[in-house]
Structure 1
Amino acid sequence: MKLAKKPEEVHATLASAFNTGDVNTVLSMYDVTGIIVPEPGKPVSGKDSFEEAIKGILSIKGKMDIKTVYCIQTGDMALGRSEWSITDNGEVKISAKGIEVMKQQTDGSWKVLFDHAFGAEANLIA
């Protein structure tokens, strides 16, 4: 799978990676030195924790769609706001509003450094 060449392509590329169902393909989209919050209040970091979190998300059967609400960039960093869902046969299994920080890699591609899958939910309490 090719990584995104622009930060505004990261959400679509990430959804495509999840839709492969392959943990390694999804992991390739992340900088595992960052943080992923696969469920509210449970941030994790490090390759093993990322892999466990991604396996949990992949266990939700269906198709992931991610809509980019906005993406703003400065230098080699970008901030994105997303609305995402996993649906199966028209049934929404899970949906949320997320916030992501992306970092440009030395090869020019972009990876997700911070992924707060529920970070923009109105009822989220810090």
Structure 2
Amino acid sequence: MKHALAWATTLALSLPQILSAEGQNVTQDQQDVLAAVEHMTQSFMDNNIPEVMDSYEPKATVLFEPAVPITENTMLKEMFAGMAALNPVFEYPSGHDVVVNGDIAIHISPWTMAGKTQDGQAVAQNGLSIAVLRRQEDGSWKMVIDNPHGARLLATK
């Protein structure tokens, strides 16, 4: 937990620089979208499943495995709880890309995750997160589609 807090603090302080590293100005909408993603990630690492679920619209779709979309709320909670049992630590080592068009946004970022099973076996995963968010009536952003396996492409014939 101590390391997760240090990581989250470091990430929060460095994100404006990461987003603007290529000379781009970071808009308030981009900052808000990124904050929504960070909040979900931190809630997940804290095993706070109600907060994780609040980061999504009620009929959101999440792909815990490539090409296996899940929309049913109870199943989403169970999947998040199962993954949170690994005590995961997530990092976004290459920064974030956020594109906003009106009330729709896309967040793209490579990620890594390290955790441990209950019997102490190390688990490591990585991928490309692609998340679509929608601005809510109260101005907050919630995820509509969350695909942490965005690097997996569909095969063409």
How high is the TM-score relative to the length of structure 1?
0.81
The answer on 1:118 being equivalent to 2:149 is yes
| Greater strand content | 1
The answer on 1:87 being equivalent to 2:114 is yes
- Name stretches of at least 5 consecutive residues in structure 1 with no aligned partner: none
CA RMSD of aligned residues (A): 2.3
| Greater helix content | 2
State the secondary structure of the residue aligned to 1:26: helix
CA-CA distance at 1:92 after TM superposition: 6.3
For 1:58, the equivalent position in structure 2 comes to 84
For 2:100, the equivalent position in structure 1 comes to 73
User: Which of structures 1 and 2 has the bigger CA Rg?
Assistant: 2
Contact 2:128 2:149 in 1 (8 A): yes
- Compared CA separation, residues 10 and 92, structure 1 to 2 (3 A): farther
For 1:42, the equivalent position in structure 2 comes to 68
Contact 1:15 1:66 in 2 (8 A): no
State the secondary structure of the residue aligned to 1:93: strand
Q: Tell me the amino acid that sits aligned with residue 39 of structure 1.
A: E
- Name stretches of at least 5 consecutive residues in structure 2 with no aligned partner: 1-30, 117-121
CA-CA distance at 1:77 after TM superposition: 0.8
Q: Which has the higher contact order (CA 8 A, sep 6+)?
A: 1
Contact 2:40 2:51 in 1 (8 A): no
- Compared CA separation, residues 88 and 56, structure 1 to 2 (3 A): closer
CA-CA distance at 1:65 after TM superposition: 2.4
- For these two proteins, the number of residue pairs brought into alignment is 120
Contact 2:104 2:132 in 1 (8 A): yes
How high is the TM-score relative to the length of structure 2?
0.66
State the secondary structure of the residue aligned to 2:149: coil
Identical-residue share of aligned pairs (%): 22
